[in-house]
């Protein structure tokens, strides 16, 4: 009898399973939207349960945010799965987020809301970019600012970059003879890796040599041998790590770990994290042994890794200390700072240079003005002796860099998160909500920039004409980019060498700058012909 009842119940359940499931789904959806509309809402697209607005955002968050801005306004909300984020596109709102210049005065000291994915990447309490532990963040930031902006470090950086550039230009002259186009993004990535890794560690990476050898021009091979091997693999891993930041920060573990496609990406990014960490540990271990085997009376070169390893030791090069930190750095601190030197110093600088090259190749008059400025500063275009002290004289070159960043920012969206509720236009944005600033919308606003789509470096020659918070190339306030001085030195050094050595021509003279979104805007399909300067 009991068995018969069980069988009947099973039959009933089987025949009504889809009806029950459908009712459950409908009930869930109704309850989701009841709760959703009860909240204090900002303008924005209606999200779907579980996935939010992911179906509308696609693989280009920057472009989607601009589309939403045009439809819903300068203050909107978007859902990444169940995570609510806010996007602002007005300078008065940007001032609220970026204006305060001290930790005590700002409500937006955090870079993002708490995220399990950020913790999984090892960034939640380490490094600088997404570190929410203020004591360690403050120390790491002060360390990087002081070490990467010290004159001794910057002079060494210029010297090493000139050496890398001279090697690259030998390759380019071989390509010139063969009338081979230069793939600018590929070369800027390789140069960036060699310059940043060599400057940071003191040991040569061989990415540019690898790139040249891959071209296989009449069997010619580079004679340069780097100490760190697999330079291009290391570079690609750093770029992948940067790409993973937005993915891990914005998507919930449920979506990352269970949704098809996302699951594979999640594994790829975490495996990449482990590979980079292992490489960093090798770099640190080898350099530590070299320092231990170096006599105390023998000076050490001022690389970032050396400064890291000697901080708070008898060989301390920079005497950097914050608060009660008076002990040598632990291995995880060393790794986190060194990793952010690479992640922050490679992608943004190399990408920006690619966009700069696109615009100066397209605008011959701008290129010639840059050349004239170099001649005025150094008195020659034939292998000028590049000095740190002369960089402040390159006003026009700096204007060119700034205009390229304005018209096509590598980082178009920068996030911050408040530590308490904040009022925006009468709307309450709750504490620990990630707020993105749409930098491209600010810098393309015709109210502040006449003809914003036109490349015109002259607009930056009068600094007083730039409305505050309309242009934030390195952010502002307490979370301003700590490596900005080094980045400008790298870009100016390369451009001085480039402009004084070659003429440039776009392969497609009508080509517009294009990009692929990967947390930052990575340039694609920028190809030029180079020709040795004759005049």
Q: Are 342 and 199 in contact (CB under 8 A)?
A: no
Domain that holds residue 367: 134-409+473-532
Number of domains into which the chain is organized:
1
159-165 long-range Cβ contacts below 8 angstroms, 24+ apart: 160/195, 160/198, 160/199, 161/195, 161/199, 161/490, 161/493, 161/494, 162/386, 162/493, 162/497, 164/191, 164/194, 164/195, 164/198, 164/208, 165/191, 165/493, 165/494, 165/497, 165/498
Name which of 79-93, 127-141, 311-325 the model is least confident about.
Answer: 311-325
Mean pLDDT of 143-152: 81
pLDDT score of 322: 52
Nearest to 61, CA basis, from 76, 45, 78, 82: 78
Name which of 16-30, 396-410, 518-532 the model is least confident about.
Answer: 16-30
Q: Which residue has the higher pLDDT, 219 or 435?
A: 435
pTM for the model stands at 0.89
pLDDT digits (tens, 9 = 90+) for 265-280: 999 999 999 999 998 8
DSSP assignment of 499-531, as one string? HHHEEEEESSTTPPPEEEEESEEEEE--EEEEE
For 329, which DSSP code?
Answer: P
* Confidence tier at 99 by pLDDT (50, 70, 90): confident
pLDDT score of 462: 87
B/e letters for 184-216, b = 16+ CB within 10 Å, e = fewer, are bbbbbbbbbbbbbbbbbbbbbbbbbbbbbeeee
Token digits of residue 188: 């800027």
Q: Give the neighbor-by-neighbor strand order of the sheet with 413-417.
A: 75-80, 83-88, 434-438, 413-417
pLDDT digits (tens, 9 = 90+) for 335-380: 888 888 888 777 789 999 999 999 999 999 999 999 999 999 999 9
Has residue 173 got a pLDDT over 70? yes
pLDDT digits (tens, 9 = 90+) for 182-239: 999 999 999 998 888 888 888 888 889 889 999 999 888 887 766 666 667 887 888 8
Binding site annotation covers 162?
Answer: no
B/e letters for 374-388, b = 16+ CB within 10 Å, e = fewer, are beebbeebeebebeb
Residue 292 lies in a domain: yes
* Confidence tier at 395 by pLDDT (50, 70, 90): very high
pLDDT score of 331: 81
Name which of 114-123, 153-162, 327-336, 432-441 the model is least confident about.
Answer: 327-336
Residue 293 lies in a domain: yes
Residue 66 lies in a domain: no
Has residue 38 got a pLDDT over 80? no
The Cα 123–Cα 66 span in angstroms is 28
* Confidence tier at 82 by pLDDT (50, 70, 90): confident
pLDDT score of 468: 92
Residue 115 lies in a domain: no
Name which of 259-263, 329-333, 353-357, 521-525 the model is least confident about.
Answer: 329-333
- Arithmetic mean of pLDDT over the chain: 87
The Cα 515–Cα 412 span in angstroms is 12
Residue 428 lies in a domain: no
Nearest to 340, CA basis, from 205, 245, 478: 245
Residue 61 lies in a domain: no
Across 137-146, 237-246, 498-507, which has the greatest mean pLDDT?
498-507
Residue 432 lies in a domain: no
pLDDT score of 229: 65
- Residue 281 exposed, middle or buried by CB count within 10 Å (0-12, 13-18, 19+): middle
Name which of 138-152, 346-360, 382-396 the model is least confident about.
Answer: 138-152
CATH code assigned at 283:
1.10.630.10
Has residue 7 got a pLDDT over 80? no
Residue 326 lies in a domain: yes
Q: Which residue has the higher pLDDT, 231 or 475?
A: 475
pLDDT score of 9: 44
pLDDT score of 31: 78
pLDDT score of 324: 57
């Amino acid at each position: 009898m009991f068995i018969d009842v069980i069988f009947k119940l099973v039959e009933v359940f089987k025949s009504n399973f889809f009806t029950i499931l459908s009712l459950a789904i409908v009930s869930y959806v109704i309850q989701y939207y009841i709760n959703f509309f009860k909240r204090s809402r900002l303008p924005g697209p209606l999200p779907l349960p579980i996935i939010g607005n992911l179906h509308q955002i696609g693989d280009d968050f920057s472009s989607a945010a601009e589309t939403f801005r045009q439809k819903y306004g300068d203050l909107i909300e978007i859902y990444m799965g169940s995570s609510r984020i806010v996007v602002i596109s007005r300078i008065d709102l940007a001032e609220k987020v970026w204006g305060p210049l001290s930790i005590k005065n700002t409500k937006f000291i955090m870079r993002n809301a708490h995220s399990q994915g950020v913790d999984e990447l090892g960034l939640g309490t380490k490094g600088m970019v997404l570190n929410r532990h203020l004591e360690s963040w403050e120390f790491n930031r002060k360390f990087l600012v002081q070490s990467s902006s010290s004159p001794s470090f910057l002079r060494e950086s210029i010297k090493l970059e000139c050496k890398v550039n001279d090697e690259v230009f030998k390759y380019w002259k071989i390509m010139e003879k063969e009338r081979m186009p230069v793939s600018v993004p590929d070369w800027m990535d390789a140069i960036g890796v060699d310059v940043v890794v060599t400057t940071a560690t003191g040991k040569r990476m061989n990415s540019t040599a690898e790139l040249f050898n891959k071209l296989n021009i009449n069997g010619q091979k580079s004679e340069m041998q780097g100490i760190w091997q697999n330079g291009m693999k290391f570079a690609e891993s750093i770029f992948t790590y940067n790409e993973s930041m937005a993915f891990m920060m914005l998507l919930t573990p449920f979506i990352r770990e269970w949704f098809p496609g996302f699951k594979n990406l999640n594994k790829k990014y975490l495996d990449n994290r482990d590979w980079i960490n292992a490489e960093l540990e090798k770099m640190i271990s080898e350099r530590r042994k070299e320092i231990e085997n170096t006599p105390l009376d023998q000076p050490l070169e001022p690389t970032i890794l050396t400064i890291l390893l000697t901080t708070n030791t008898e060989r301390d090069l920079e005497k950097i200390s914050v608060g009660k930190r008076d002990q040598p750095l632990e291995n995880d601190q060393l790794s986190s700072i060194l990793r952010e030197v690479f992640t922050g110093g490679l992608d943004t600088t190399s990408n920006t240079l690619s966009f700069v090259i696109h615009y100066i190749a397209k605008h011959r008059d701008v290129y010639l003005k840059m050349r004239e400025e170099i001649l005025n500063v150094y008195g020659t275009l034939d292998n000028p002796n590049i000095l740190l002290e002369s960089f402040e004289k390159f006003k026009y070159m700096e204007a060119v860099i700034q205009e390229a960043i304005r018209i096509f920012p590598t980082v178009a969206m920068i996030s911050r998160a408040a530590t308490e509720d904040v009022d925006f236009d009468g709307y309450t944005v709750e504490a620990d909500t990630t707020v993105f600033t749409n930098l491209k919308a600010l810098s393309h606003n015709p109210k502040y920039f006449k003809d914003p789509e036109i490349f015109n470096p002259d607009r930056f020659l009068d600094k007083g004409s730039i409305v505050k918070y309309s242009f934030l190339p390195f952010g502002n306030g307490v979370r301003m980019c700590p490596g900005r001085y080094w980045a400008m030195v790298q870009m100016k050094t390369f451009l001085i060498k480039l402009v004084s050595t070659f003429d440039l021509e776009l392969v497609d003279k009508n080509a517009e700058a294009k990009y692929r979104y990967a947390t930052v805007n990575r340039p694609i399909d920028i190809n030029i012909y180079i020709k040795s300067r004759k005049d």
